[in-house]
Amino acid sequence: MAAAAKPKHFVAVHGVGHGAWVYYKLKPRIEAAGYQFTPVSLAAAGNNGKKLEEVRSLHDYTIPLQEVLAAVPEGEKVILIGHSGGGYAAAYGMEKYPEKISVAVFLNALMPDSKNKPSYIIDEYLARTPIEAWMDTQFPTYGDPPITALVVGPKFISESLYNLSPLEDQALGHLSVRPGSLFMEDLATMDKFSDERYGSVPRVYVIAAEDKTIPPSFQKWQIENNPVVEVKEIKGADHMPMFTQPDALCKCLVEIAEKHG
C-alpha cells in the first residue's frame, strides 16, 4: 500500500515587532483544513529569546526562518507567508532556500524586487508615508554603527495597525508587540535579490483591502513594479487580516496551496 501523501506545509513569518502569536487564529483553521502550519518568531520577536541589541542585520533577524527552511526534507517544499514588514524576511528565505519553497505569499507585505537594491521598496514606502501617519511610533537607534529601531505606540496600534481588529486582539497587541527594526541600514548595503534564486520562486500577493498602515494603493504599486503570478484580495481586512478576517484568509491560503503549492 502506498504511503499517504504528506499534508502541504505553510511556514509563516510576521511583521515588525510582532511574533508567531499573530497566527493564533489562522493556525487552527489551516490545520483543520488538513494542512501543516508552522508560524515562526524571528530573532528578538515574539517568544524568541534574543534581544534587539543582539540583532544587527536581516540575516541575523531571519536565522529562525533559515533554520526552519534548512530542516525541510530534500524533495519537499513549503508555502512561505510573509506578512507586512515580514515580506523582507520571506524574500531573504527565498534567496537562501528557493528549492525549499513552492510559492511565496506576500500578505499585505513589503515586497522587494530584483531590479533595485533591497532598500528601494522601504525607501519608496517611507517617502509616501507622511510623518503624522506614524502617530506615536518612535524611531530610536541602537548599537555602533547605529541601527534604526521601530517602537510602535499604543495609538498607532489601535488606530492604524489594528483599527478594525476585535478589542481582544487590540489588547493582545498592546501586551505583546516588541521593539523591532526594518534593518534599513543593512538593506541599503545588501546586494540585490537575484532573479536566479529569489526570482525563481512563484509569488502571490494578497491585498488587505482596508489596510491603513500599508495602504492598498501602495500594495498595488508594488505589484505593478514587480508582477506576481496571482493577486487576491481580502475584503474588510485591516493591517492584521489574520485577526479581522481569519476565515476568509484561511480560504484564500487554501486556494493558493491547491493552485500553486
Catalytic residue status for 174: no
Catalytic residue status for 239: yes
Catalytic residue status for 195: no
Q: Give kind and range of the element (H or E) at residue 147.
A: strand 147-148
Neighbours of 217 (CB within 10 A): 9
Q: Return d(Cα 257, Cα 252) in angstroms, integer.
A: 9
| Cell numbers given for 223 | 505589484
Choice among 41, 84, 119, 160 that is catalytic: 84
With 0-12 CB in 10 A as exposed, 13-18 as middle and 19+ as buried, what is 237?
Answer: buried
Contact 13, 83 (CB under 8 A): yes
Choice among 113, 169, 211, 238 that is catalytic: 211
Choice among 9, 14, 83, 239 that is catalytic: 239
SS3 call for 176: helix
Q: Annotated active-site positions, please?
A: 84, 211, 239
